Amino acid sequence: MERGLATAKWDAEGVAPTSAPLVTAGVLQDYQTTREQMPWIAPWYRQHGRPIRSHGYAGAESALHVTQQCTPNLRMAPGADDVGFDELVATVKKGIAIIDGGASTDFQNRAGAGGGTMREIVNGRLGDKLKYGGFLFDSAQIWKDLTAIGGPKSASRIASSDDKGEPNQTTMYSVEAVPGIIKNMSIIDMLRKA
Amino acid sequence: MTTRQNSLTARVPSPSAASTAPPQRSRFLSQAECTALFERARALATGGGDTQLRLESKWTGNVRYARNQITSSGDTQNNPVTLTRAIRGAAAAVQVNQIDDVPLEAAVRRAERLVRLWPEISDDARQMAQHFTPLPSPKVPTTGFRLDDTARDSAMRSLIQSREEPFLKPHIFFDSTFNLDAASRAAAVKPLVTPAAEAGMLAAGYIEVSARGRTVMDSVGLSLYYPYTTAQYSVTVRDPKGRGSGWAGVDWNDWTRVDAQQLSAIALDKCLKSRDPVAVEPGRYVAILEPQAVCDLCASIMKTPYVQRQFAESGRGPYAVGTEGGTKIGERIFDPRITISADPMDPDLGFVPFDEYGHIYHPATWVEHGVLKELAYPRSYGIANLGKNTGLPSNGAFRMSGGTVTIDEMIAGTKRGVLVTRFSSVAVVDESSLLSTGYTRDGLWLIENGKISKSIKNFRFTESPMFILNNVEQLGAPRRVFHPAAPIVVPPLKVRDFSFTSLSDAV
């Protein structure tokens, strides 16, 4: 990815990063890998008849930090139909639009929660803004609940970061993604208590 | 500048000896070295004005282990200098961590180039910068000025410290920490791992020690330096099949106060007892919060900006009253058994007596018997609004008062409730109430009829420390917890009506 936050000529282990399809048509295809990791997962690559080589995703926040596997720039392929956010909204009779904001997951990247600018969708049109709107999701399930995605014209790039490791470090990467429609999303009042 | 080394034998500066010690190359810079560095930067300056140097000279050493074996160890030295030049009412700051002459001069020149980028200066900005650079009558225009936040902060903080202010001198440099070299750290790991390995569990832990010299010096006359050490240890023990997890950790200035073996034993015990959790309904529970859980939830009550007086007076945060500048100072905000204080000289809480900008920390009682007594403010605020010549800054460190009830006694007196080891991923979702959300982690148990009955699955919670500290039933003895950002001493608490809102499958 050109000018992505994780774009590099070589990674921290001297490997030229390569693009790798991680998920194709909903099926897991590959892992994000470094040279250090390859011996650990070499059997999986042998089993699948693939070369045992790092994708070049080793990195560190700075020269003061330990080299480790870092999330590369990620790209979610657009849908075949070149529809945008507004056109997706137009297909929804009753729902909620999450327009911007952010989300984070628990310590095992399973349960997630987020918030931001959210508006009602009524008969295909954006309605009132939700005060203190938030959402909960299961990181694996959310992709299975995807019913439609935007096309090439709706793609946009955002910055994201990973905090991990001890000593702690933060690394940045870019994500190119398109909007999507997700069924059964849990919408909550962020100020709700049990 | 970064170096990695395995054998460490450098001399240790102390608060009393540092000012007279000869210049030396150490794992971090002494006061004499910082002074010499500042004088070199000052001599490189051109075009008049003033110069400020801020530096946290630091050595850190660490060892990490996972799956019962050491995975990495490192030593790092760094001298991140923030160098500010103020000329004719404008200021600009540059950061550099190479401190020999060539990069230092390049940093000075760059700061001076940045200063010249601001040709027009407003009254407000000129007033700030004048305190840093007390020029007689700067001939500058008065409109269209834009000062970046860093430069603005530098100018403002120099205003605050434009006069010498006495500071406390806590004993926070310890040879036990400084001498924990790579070999010592590696040797410390085996006894920490062995019990977990023998029990068939997987331990992962992290030891980090550091020795630092914090300095703030400027050409107006400020010259602050303080050496200190930090030590931290945390350990997670997990069942190999992911059936249970336990954690323990603490940080101190003195490594000898870190009882790593006891912490490892606690984590192992929690792991074994947390295996095979069952799901129980989310809802409101009586909760017994171990001190770490109290810290994880309540650290926000003393964090910037919430604890800042100006923030409250702007109508924001938990200590604001309305939007007309009122605060809750003088009002009872917590249970009367709660007193919250901070003192650099507190032997369980000691911290550097000034911040990285040179603000002096004074002993403060923020909450006394549940009544909000003070909110933090800078010296400029004290002068302008309170008729005081000092500020009352906060670095987030605090001690919360406690009681004498043990956790076992809390459990014995609970008909139905939960015991919480700690929280993670805690985020404030509403700044006016500090309502927060996050997850329980590394040990959560159901209490029934005065006994722990079973390990239960983790919860997501939505709760506020402002509410919980009004729902206190019992308090235990305060103790230091794991919070490397700022020292915190808190008691275990038994509270009612804690709001757990959903289940989390993570173990």
As a whole number of angstroms, the distance between CA A60 and CA A4 comes to 16
What's the pLDDT score for residue B2? 35
Mean pLDDT over B419-426 rounds to 96
User: What proportion of chain B, given as a percentage, has pLDDT over 90?
Assistant: 74
Distance from CA of B462 to the nearest CA of A (A): 6
What's the pLDDT score for residue B4? 37
What pTM did the predictor assign? Answer: 0.87
Given a cut of 80, whether residue B135 has pLDDT beyond it is no
Distance from CA of B2 to the nearest CA of A (A): 7
What's the pLDDT score for residue B380? 77
Given a cut of 80, whether residue B21 has pLDDT beyond it is no
Cβ of A115 and B429 within 8 Å?
yes
| Contact status of B435 with chain A (Cβ, < 8 Å) | yes
- The per-residue pLDDT of chain B, averaged, comes to 87
Cβ of B282 and A193 within 8 Å?
no
Contacts of A194 in chain B (CB under 8 A): 282-284, 462, 499-501
Mean pLDDT over B80-106 rounds to 90
pLDDT digits (tens, 9 = 90+) for B57-79: 999 999 999 999 999 999 999 99
B135 or A71, greater pLDDT: A71
Lowest mean pLDDT of A50-54, A77-81, B47-51, B434-438, name the range.
Answer: B47-51
ipTM of the complex: 0.84
As a whole number of angstroms, the distance between CA B175 and CA B179 comes to 6
3-state secondary structure of B53: strand
3-state secondary structure of A106: coil
Q: Please state whether the peptide bond connecting residue B13 to the residue before it is cis, i.e. omega within 30 degrees of 0.
A: no
3-state secondary structure of A74: strand
pLDDT band at residue B16, thresholds of 50, 70 and 90?
very low
Q: What is the pLDDT along chain A (194 residues), one digit of tens a residue?
A: 999 999 999 999 999 999 999 999 999 999 999 999 999 999 999 999 999 999 999 999 998 888 999 999 999 999 999 999 999 999 999 999 999 888 888 777 778 888 889 999 999 999 999 988 888 888 889 999 999 999 999 999 999 988 887 888 999 999 999 999 999 898 988 877 77
pLDDT digits (tens, 9 = 90+) for B272-322: 999 999 999 999 999 999 999 999 999 999 999 999 999 999 999 999 998
Q: What is the DSSP letter of B97?
A: S
Q: What is the DSSP letter of B92?
A: E
pLDDT band at residue B163, thresholds of 50, 70 and 90?
low
As a whole number of angstroms, the distance between CA A166 and CA B65 comes to 10
Candidate from A111, A190, A192 with C-beta closest to B504: A111
Cβ density class B392-406: b for 16+ within 10 Å, e for less = bbbbbbbbbbbbebe
3-state secondary structure of B201: coil
Given a cut of 90, whether residue B389 has pLDDT beyond it is no
As a whole number of angstroms, the distance between CA B388 and CA A95 comes to 56
Distance from CA of B480 to the nearest CA of A (A): 21
What's the pLDDT score for residue B119? 57
